Structure 1
Amino acid sequence: MQKSQRLIQMIMRINAKPYFTVRELADEFGLSTRTITRDLLELSELGVPVYSIQGRGGGFRLLQERLLPPISFTEGEALSLFFACQTMDYFSSLPFGEGADSALHKFYHYLPGDIKEQIDRLKNRIMFWNPYRLMSAEILQTLLKAIMIGSVVNIAYKSSSGVSERNIQPIGLYASSGYWYCPAYCFTKEDIRQFRADRILSATLNERIACREDINQKTLLDKPTKDDREQITLEIEMTSKGVWLLESNPRFNPFIQHNKDGSASLTMEIAVEDIHFYMDLIWQFGDEVKVVTPTAATAYIRQKIESMRLLYFQ
């Protein structure tokens, strides 16, 4: 085996088992302990974070930030991965810390010159846009870590009834319309609830509470379709142009019922506390969309109209 191949295999071996001895590696590779020691020294000089443990029974360990072995990509794969990372550019906060930016910088740096030129020509011509939503990256990182290691999280959560402290067992994280959501088992409610990350005021790992194994087996495919907030029926009528405007919004699209003349109606359940949020979305469509019910929604629209009248006609 060539030395370069041996070093790559050694990186893979010590990544799989962070604690090891020189004798273990020597037996596995069929080499002398002196050769293995030289290889480890060379890997350390190349940046692999290996350090020795002194004393009886000592060996070697890797630092927490382990390195992955080199991976070869085709040009198409390189472009795909680069733009996959670009999909996250318009999120205000990510659960990965600086890892995504750092990985993208390294990836771009080592691409061939002609591939870099192709990517540069596409910059600002392909975007994966999301509305900007302000939220805490630290809280997202805590939720992600809890999912990875299997831990309960103690959170302070702001809802319509005020701020409450809860212990939750996160099932996953997903993003929609710029918001991050965390379906989780709530130990207070003793049921699965959906939490919006920007409404979590603080989050810390809580190792004093054991995770439930049945919750550990769940994924985002098991996330609840509704949360535990009070629901109300929203009814909307729209012109043919209003249909065209609302069809592009995934919140409304599945509930649109088309009429033969091109107009449409919509009936859907929304949380009472989200009425203003939905009315602000609908407001931008003017007279192409009419809110029929609930009364609280139409009252909010009339209030906005009156505010605009006072602003411009007095």
Structure 2
Amino acid sequence: MHKSQRLIQLMMVINAKKNVTVRELADEFGLSARTISRDLQDLSEIGFPIYSVQGRGGGYRLLQERMLPPIAFLESEAVAMFFAFQSLQYFGSLPFEDGMTSALLKFYHYLPDDVRRQIDRLQNKIVIWSPHRSMSSANLKTLLQAIMLQKVVTIRYSSAAEVTERDIQPIGIYASQGYWYCPAYCFLRKTYRLFRADRILFASLNESISFREDVDQRSVFDWDAPEKNRLEKITLVVNITSKGCKKIESNGWFDDTVDSNEDGSGTVRAVIPKKDLDFYVEMIWGLGQEAKIIEPVEAVNYIKQKIEMLRQQYV
């Protein structure tokens, strides 16, 4: 076996065991302890995260973060990965920010010179823009760790009304309009809640509370589906001009609810939880004269009140 192949296999074995002795490795590979010691020294010099432990029961141990063995990428795959990372650059914060930056530098460094020149020419030419929102990347990382390690998190959360400390079990995290959101089971309220990550003032893993498997079965797509199905529903009907229809295409909240006409205009018929009516009407309000609410009467009255308040402001 070539030395390069042996070093890769050593990495894989140590990744799997995390704690090994030179003798164990020598027996497994059929080599002398001296050869294994030299190989371990070579791995350490190229940055493989192991350290030696002296004394009885000593050996070599892997640092907390493991290193993957070399992965062969096609040139086109490396370029695709580079731009996948670049597409996240305008987020105010990321749960894996440090790792993304170092990985990006590695991809760029090992690309052929001609490909790097091509990428350099595309700088500031391809951008996936997101509104910049300031928040703690450390808190995002803690939420992500809790999901991966199946742990509960203690947070201090600032809502519109108060700051509370509560224990939550995150279901997932997702980004929308530059904000990060975390649907989770709240042990304080004993129900599911949606938390905005920038309002989390502090977050730490909590080992004292048992992880719930039933919560883990949910995803960011259906985290509150059972509860929503039990809520009282109401039908929101809105006539929208062709210009208004184009505006709500990027909204996402009215997907599959628009009946389109030949001239591009349409009618929204959305069955929504009654308690969320104000939220949806506020989105319709943003369309201005491009939309007219037909029903329910509560939504029409809500718009009339907003118009009257606005009119009084300019008296």
TM-score range for the pair, normalised by the shorter chain length: 0.7 to 0.9
Deviation at 1:222, TM superposition (A): 4.0
Match of 1:182 in 2: 182
Q: Could you tell me how far apart the structure 2 residues matched to 1:177 and 1:87 are?
A: 14
Alignment of 1:251 onto 2:253: yes
Task: Name the CA shift for 1:257/1:306 in 2 (closer, same or farther; >3 Å).
Answer: farther
Match of 1:57 in 2: 57
Alignment of 1:299 onto 2:301: no
**One of 262, 265, 268 as aligned partner of 1:266:** 268
Post-superposition Cα deviations, 1:108-153, rounded to whole Å, max 9, x if no partner, equal: 1111111112222322222222233332222211111111222111
Post-superposition Cα deviations, 1:23-68, rounded to whole Å, max 9, x if no partner, equal: 1111111101111011111211222222111111111102223322
Within 5 Å, give how 1:200-239 maps onto structure 2.
200-225=200-225, 235-239=237-241
**Identity level (%):** 54
Match of 2:38 in 1: 38
SS of equivalent residue, structure 1 residue 254: coil
Kindly indicate whether the alpha-carbon contact (under 8 Å) linking 1:276 and 1:297 is maintained by their aligned counterparts in 2. Answer: no
Kindly indicate whether the alpha-carbon contact (under 8 Å) linking 2:15 and 2:66 is maintained by their aligned counterparts in 1. Answer: yes
Kindly indicate whether the alpha-carbon contact (under 8 Å) linking 1:235 and 1:294 is maintained by their aligned counterparts in 2. Answer: no
Task: Name the CA shift for 1:303/1:79 in 2 (closer, same or farther; >3 Å).
Answer: farther
Kindly indicate whether the alpha-carbon contact (under 8 Å) linking 1:82 and 1:104 is maintained by their aligned counterparts in 2. Answer: yes
Post-superposition Cα deviations, 1:212-248, rounded to whole Å, max 9, x if no partner, equal: 2333344445422498899987553321221122223
Task: Name the CA shift for 1:141/1:274 in 2 (closer, same or farther; >3 Å).
Answer: farther
Q: Could you tell me how far apart the structure 1 residues matched to 2:47 and 2:196 are?
A: 40
Q: Could you tell me how far apart the structure 2 residues matched to 1:180 and 1:301 are?
A: 32
User: What number of residue pairs does the alignment pair up?
Assistant: 308
Query: Is the deviation greater in 254-263 or in 107-116?
Result: 254-263
Match of 1:147 in 2: 147
Q: Could you tell me how far apart the structure 2 residues matched to 1:74 and 1:178 are?
A: 32
Kindly indicate whether the alpha-carbon contact (under 8 Å) linking 2:285 and 2:303 is maintained by their aligned counterparts in 1. Answer: no
- 1:299 partner amino acid: Q
Within 5 Å, give how 1:80-91 maps onto structure 2.
80-91=80-91
State the Cα RMSD in Å: 3.0
Match of 1:242 in 2: 244
Kindly indicate whether the alpha-carbon contact (under 8 Å) linking 2:233 and 2:273 is maintained by their aligned counterparts in 1. Answer: yes
Q: Could you tell me how far apart the structure 2 residues matched to 1:59 and 1:285 are?
A: 67
Deviation at 1:285, TM superposition (A): 4.1
Q: Using structure 2 for the length normalisation, give the TM-score.
A: 0.85
5+ residue gaps, structure 1? none
Match of 1:134 in 2: 134
5+ residue gaps, structure 2? none
Task: Name the CA shift for 1:226/1:193 in 2 (closer, same or farther; >3 Å).
Answer: farther
Q: Using structure 1 for the length normalisation, give the TM-score.
A: 0.85
Q: Could you tell me how far apart the structure 1 residues matched to 2:112 and 2:210 are?
A: 49
Query: Is the deviation greater in 92-101 or in 211-220?
Result: 211-220
Within 5 Å, give how 1:66-215 maps onto structure 2.
66-215=66-215
- 1:207 partner amino acid: E
Kindly indicate whether the alpha-carbon contact (under 8 Å) linking 2:75 and 2:111 is maintained by their aligned counterparts in 1. Answer: no
SS of equivalent residue, structure 2 residue 163: strand
Kindly indicate whether the alpha-carbon contact (under 8 Å) linking 1:160 and 1:273 is maintained by their aligned counterparts in 2. Answer: no
